[in-house]
Structure 1
Amino acid sequence: MKQFPLGVRQSVFAFLATMLACAASAAHAQDVVKIGLSSPLSGSQSAYGADNRDGLLLAVKEINAKGFQVGGRQVSLQVVAEDDAGDPRQGVSVAQKLADAKVGFVVGPYNSGVAIPASRVYNDAGMVVLTVGANPKLTELGHPRLFRIGGNDKQVGAAMAIYAARELKAKQVAVVDDRTAYGQGLAAEFMAEARRQGLSIVRQEFTTDKATDFTAILTAIRAAKPDVIVFGGFSLQAGPMLRQMVSLGIHAKLLGGDAICDTETSRLSAGLADGRTLCMQARLILDKTEAGRIFAAKYKATYQRDPLTYAANFYDGAMLLADAMQKANSTDPGKVAEQIAKGTYKGVVGEYSFTDGHDMKTLPVTVYGFKGGQLQPLVSF
């Protein structure tokens, strides 16, 4: 048999070794799918932003650990977290940054005021968006790849009015909103249902999501003697507002939506929220379901703190995307959006199935009170 020179044999062996290494590398290669996060990671709402981010990261960690496959290929999910600071202009910049980076999927934004202007950028880029923004206008824009994975102001605002009339036996209510898209939407939906329930709106006032002194508007409200004060806004204003209500001798209860369903409300009220404040979230009571208890325990074990308002929704958002990718046998945003629109996924918060307008079909509303500074679920309906 003819022997090739040593140098030739070494070159052949080196070539074969390289080919084998390439084949082994290809066998272990993974498709990387990026999931963007748009949330307020700085500023006054940063605690909520971190809560959202960590819920998403927890889900992605679990998905990747299980060996996620789509269409027979190994897929690794990667979170690209961006800070929109709860600011509409910054939120649009974040959307453009994610679009330029060819990110196909986004969980967020958290704020309606960010989501509404940013949604145009996401839509133009063909991205799938799963948002908890509650303003009804968001899904009315008709973007085909945008889905609301939380309740909307119509659900929560109407439930607040029904509860005030039927359970609190209120007759006269005052309404305050913070002029954000969320706060205005919640207040508007509350007032519409309140009138249908026979409640009298004795005072309507406005503030901002940066305010700390509410003395002037509360003094005007006090003269109207409402049974309940409804606030469309966030914990950072609700806590100080309650403290000032008490100092002015206002005995009305404070009633709000999901954005004040947080221990921050109690802390910033100096503990006055107990028995004085009620809030509502469009979700099941986590402690009442096995999935909710498991999620809460995992979250606390990972981050050494309890989940806040929307951590479970952002966790579900990642799980919903992964489920849709597998059912569609594709990571193409268009095909994934089609699967989400027609499919059903059972998550921590509830069942994700969507109307033609891309709102969730069924989502119970839970009423919470405060006891010892902690949220206490009272009833779901």
Structure 2
Amino acid sequence: MTVTFKLKHLAATAALGLAFTGSAFAQEVVKIGFSGPLSGGAALYGKNVLDGMQLAVNEINAQGLEVAGKKYKLEIVSLDDKYNPSETAINAQRLVQQYKTPAILVPHSGGSLALQVNNEQNKYLLLSYTSVPQITARGNKLTLRIPPEFTSYVPAFVKHAMTKYGKNIAFAHGDHDYAKAWTAVFKPAWEAAGGKVVIENPMSYNRAADFYSGVSRALAAKPDVMFIGGASEPTGLVVKQARELGFKGGFVIIDQAKMDEMTKVTGGYGPLEGSIGVLPLIEDKTPDAQNFVTRFQKAYPGRVPSSEVSLNYTAVWLLAGAMKASGSVTDATAIRASLDKAAKELSPAHNPNTLDGVDDKGGTLADTRVAVVENGKVREIKLSALK
């Protein structure tokens, strides 16, 4: 074999290799936006949301995403908004203009409401991780509300707390928009059931590192029950300090706070005795939930996933399915129209919270799961038993 022939052979082989390489990496990248708290008191909350999204993206990319005959790779662009709706709006403008994101996930109501001002005009889908009814009630045609509405929890929470502890309640929740929305629904429900609000003392869960002053003020009103909630870590600190100050009553915990995460601050479920809140994912004994927990812990050793992780994981799978069903990765209107179909076709492995569909207003449909702490252990209770 001559030197010239060898060189030609090597050149041809290299060209063929480059052709195959080009084909293998011909996937276009679709960027999904995230704007949420990655610093401050709610940083763990934001990280949980983002980790759930990233796990889904990793699995989708490994499996392969093909839309209308073309292969795509998903990528998340995450920006910190410090739980500030004004920052969320700025981040969204950057995500759309600089990164061309067809969808942006926001894990708080204030930021979601801020983006609904112009997301239809700017033609991107808002993936809103908040259970406040206003998100879908406003009629925004490019919104998906990821969790079910929180209103389904309220009757059960009222009945459990009032029956077990008494009728006097202190509101010591966070001062952010989501906690305010919960209060606006829970307060009249408590009063309609014959209860009395002895004090309203919202606190800055996202900025404060000590709640002794606010908790002391709430306890001075002699409540039987405390209504609390924000991100898990500060909510856990409120419980810890209330017990240290001698509070013996129960806690109603809004669904943003997760009891299993709160135990990292309280030192276990003991201080949460008598509490009612959402069922921690780790305590969900269904096979699909346990399978998800196992997969998450393999990807993130030493971590315990919350429902923030699992629901936003499912939201990304749902988005990918809607892209396939609509035949587009950029047309937010077509993707939104395909969400219900995609939800019904979700694999159980990708849907540990068993979302059943998406309604006409863009809200997910699912059975809510509730738990109480009794004798230092979590016990799931059926909503029907508390109505």
Give the TM-score range, shorter chain. 0.7 to 0.9
Counterpart in the other structure of 1:42: 39
Shift of 1:133: 1.8
Conservation of the 8 A alpha-carbon contact between 1:231 and 1:256: yes
1:359 is displaced (CA, Å) by 1.9
Map of 1:320 onto structure 2: 318
Report SS of the residue matched to 2:328: coil
- The aligned counterpart of 1:4 is none
1:122-144 C-alpha deviation (Å, 9 max, x unpaired): 33321112221233322233221
Following superposition, the deviation at residue 256 of structure 1 comes to 0.7
Counterpart of 1:98 (choices 91, 95, 99) is: 95
CA separation in 1, counterparts of 2:283 and 2:247? 33
- 1:253-275 Cα shifts (integer Å, max 9, x gaps): 12212222144422333557544
Separation in 2 of the partners of 1:285 and 1:154?
Answer: 23
CA positional deviation for 1:336: 1.0
Look up the match of 1:366.
370
Matched-pair contact (CA < 8 Å) for 1:366–1:379: yes
Higher mean C-alpha deviation, range 39-48 or range 289-298: 39-48
CA distance in 1, matches of 2:142, 2:95: 16
Q: Percent identity?
A: 26
Q: Equivalent residue of 2:140, what SS? A: coil
TM-score normalised to structure 2 length: 0.83
Q: Which residue of 1 aligns with 2:58?
A: 61
Gaps of 5+ in 2: 1-6
Structure 1 residues 194 and 306, CA, compared in 2 at 3 Å: closer, same or farther?
same
> 1-side partners of 2:374 and 2:92: how far apart?
37
Q: Confirm or deny: 8 A CA contact 2:102 2:332 kept in the other structure.
A: yes
* Distance of aligned partners of 1:205 and 1:20 in 2 relative to their CA distance in 1, 3 Å threshold: closer
- Give the letter aligned to residue 173 of structure 1: I
Cα gap change, 1:262/1:39 in structure 2, threshold over 3 Å: closer, same or farther?
farther
Give the superposition deviation at 1:24: 7.7
Determine the structure 2 residue equivalent to 1:139.
Answer: 136
Aligned match of 1:355: 359
Instruction: Pick the aligned partner of 1:379 from 381, 384, 387.
Output: 381
How many Å apart are 1:217 and its aligned residue? 4.2
> Which position in structure 2 is the counterpart of 1:184?
180
Say which is worse superposed, 348-357 or 303-312, in terms of deviation: 348-357
Q: Deviations over 1:1-32 (max 9, x none)?
A: xxxxxxxxx99xx99x9799669835862232
Residue matched to 2:241: 244
Q: For residues 185 and 172 of structure 2, what CA distance do their matches in structure 1 show? A: 13
Aligned to 1:7: none
CA distance in 2, matches of 1:201, 1:64: 51
SS at match of 1:310: helix
Equivalent position of 1:3 in the other structure: none
Task: Tell me how far apart the structure 2 counterparts of residues 140 and 131 of structure 1 sit (CA, whole Å).
Answer: 13
The 8 Å contact of residues 172 and 226 in structure 1, kept in 2 or not, is answered as yes
Is 1:276 paired with 2:267?
A: no
> How many angstroms apart in 1 are the aligned matches of 2:308 and 2:174?
20
SS for the counterpart of 1:378 is strand
Aligned match of 2:3:
none
Which 5+ residue runs of structure 1 have no aligned equivalent? 1-9
